[in-house]
């Protein structure tokens, strides 16, 4: 289905749904499409430009709201990451090995952080081991 904004010769705006643009042509030629206000059968598609402008404006507003939220989320995320780093055992490159040991009960259950390559991370996830990427903020990279 295609949605068209339509207009009659007296500039009454209305909307219609058609199976295709051919279907629209067929229905208007057959006089099946008429203006709901004045019943004129001289209808045409209107330019979509005003709608585009409206949706752009909306997107702009959403972006502003999201930026404010993101700022707050980043602050919370930084706090959470600080807490994770403070409480977790940094096992460095042994991360995949340690994560498996903990998962299979071969090592003490605890929070660990460390490095894993994308392949290792995928393998761990496939084994049902819950891992999450730890974001690195610019100020952490000394
Ligand atoms: Zn009309």
Centre of ligand 1 from the C-alpha of residue 52, in Å = 23
Centre of ligand 1 from the C-alpha of residue 98, in Å = 73
How high is the pLDDT of residue 140?
Answer: 60
Model confidence pTM above 0.85: no
Q: Which residues pair with 43 in a beta bridge?
A: 8
pLDDT in tens, 78-131: 888 888 888 888 899 999 999 999 999 998 888 888 888 889 989 999 999 888
- Among 5-14, 88-97, 113-122, 133-142, name the one with the lowest average pLDDT: 133-142
Centre of ligand 1 from the C-alpha of residue 53, in Å = 24
Centre of ligand 1 from the C-alpha of residue 83, in Å = 65
Centre of ligand 1 from the C-alpha of residue 26, in Å = 20
**Helices 95-103 & 118-126 angle (0-180, nearest 10):** 10
The full DSSP string for 70-103 is HHHHHHHHHHHHHHHHHHSEEEETTHHHHHHHHH
């Amino acid at each position: 289905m295609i949605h068209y904004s339509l207009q009659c010769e007296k500039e009454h705006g209305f909307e219609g749904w058609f199976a295709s643009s051919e279907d629209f042509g067929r229905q208007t030629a057959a006089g099946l499409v008429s203006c709901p206000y004045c019943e004129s059968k001289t209808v045409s598609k209107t330019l979509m430009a005003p709608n585009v402008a409206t949706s752009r404006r909306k997107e702009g507003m959403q972006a502003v709201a999201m930026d404010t939220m993101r700022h707050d989320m980043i602050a919370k995320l930084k706090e959470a990451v600080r807490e994770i780093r403070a409480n977790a055992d940094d096992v460095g490159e042994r991360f995949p090995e340690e994560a498996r040991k903990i998962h299979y009960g071969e090592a003490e259950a605890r929070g660990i952080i460390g490095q894993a390559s994308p392949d290792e991370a995928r393998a761990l996830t496939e084994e049902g081991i819950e891992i999450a990427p730890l974001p690195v903020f610019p100020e952490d990279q000394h």
